[in-house]
Every structure is written in C-alpha cells, then in structure tokens.
Amino acid sequence: MSEPITREVFNHLVELAALELTPDEAEYLRRQLNNQLTAIDDLNQVPLDPDTPVASHGVPYTPATSAPIRADEWHPHPDPAKLLKGAPEVDDGYIIVPEIPHQDLD
C-alpha cells in the first residue's frame, strides 16, 4: 500500500504541530495516520455535484434562532490574579516565558 504520509511529510507535520516524538511514537503515529487516510479515501466515492455547498455546521442559524451580535467592547476581568494563578511562571502580573527566538534587524 502506498503511504501518502512519508517520513519526510510526517516530520514536517511534527514541526508544524510543535511536537517532538520518540522514534517508536513517530512510527506508530505515522502508521495510524496512513490507515486513517485509507478510511478517508472512501470520501472519493461520493459523487459531488459542483453546487454542493460546504457545511461548516449542521444546524442552520437564522436571525430568529440566534442572539444578536454583541457590541465589540472590552470588559475588565473581576479578578485577573485568579487567572494568572494557573500560569506556570508569573512575575509582577506578567507571564514569564523562555527567550523568544528572534533575528536582529539591520
């Protein structure tokens, strides 16, 4: 069986996905992805009329069933300190992260 997701394609996906994988994990996941693609290929059996629209959701939303769009206004959170409690590293109300890769511009 041909494998659309070759090691090269797979490694690119891993990079895009911001993951790191052990060799065993990579082999298992790549095999599963290719198996899933075989199942997905069944979609090619569906005759699609060029007019068939895409459906990003199933239930139609109409003005009668939807809340009006809210005004685009910001509201202060009542307790920002509580939100920051979940952050792995905080200093004086700021979230601390490792050095951000950057290039100095000329």
Partner 1 sequence: MKLHELTALEITQKIKARQVSAEEVLDAHLRRIEAVDGLPGRLDGDSSAEPSKVHAFITLTAERARAQARAVDEKLAAGQDLGPLAGVPVTVKDIFCVEDTPSTAASKILANFNAPYTATAVERMEAAGAVILGKVNLDEFTYGSSNESSAFQPAPRNPWDTSRVPGGSSGGSAASVAAYEAPLSLGTDTAGSIRQPAAFCGVVGMKPTYGRVSRYGLIAFGSSLDCPGPLSRTVADSALMLQTIAGADPRDATAVTVPVPDYVAELEKGVRGLKIGLSPEYFQITYLDAVTGKLETQPVPDVMKNAVLDAAQRLAAMGAEIVENVPMPHTRYGIPAYFVISRVEAASNLHRFDGVKYGYRAQAGITDLRSMYRRTRAEAFGPQPKLRILMGMYVSAAQYSEQYYNRALRVRSLLRRDFDEAFAKVDLLLTPTTPTSAFPIGGLYGDSVLMQYADQLTVPGNHAGVPGISIPAGLDADGLPIGIQFLGPDFSEDIILRASRAYEVATESESWRQAKPALAE
In the complex, which residues of this chain contact partner 1 (CB under 8 A)?
A: 1, 5, 9-10, 13-14, 16-21, 25, 28-29, 32-33, 35-36, 38-46, 48, 52-59, 61, 64-67, 69-70, 79, 82-83, 85-89, 95, 97-101
Rounded Cα gap, residues 75 and 72, in angstroms: 10
Nearest Cα to 30, choosing from 53, 13, 55?
Answer: 13
Residue pair 10/33 in contact by the 8 Å Cβ criterion: yes
Q: Minimum distance from CB of 26 to partner 1 (Å)?
A: 10
Q: Minimum distance from CB of 105 to partner 1 (Å)?
A: 18
Residues 6 or more apart in contact with residue 80 via CB below 8 angstroms: 93
Rounded Cα gap, residues 25 and 81, in angstroms: 38
Q: Minimum distance from CB of 59 to partner 1 (Å)?
A: 4
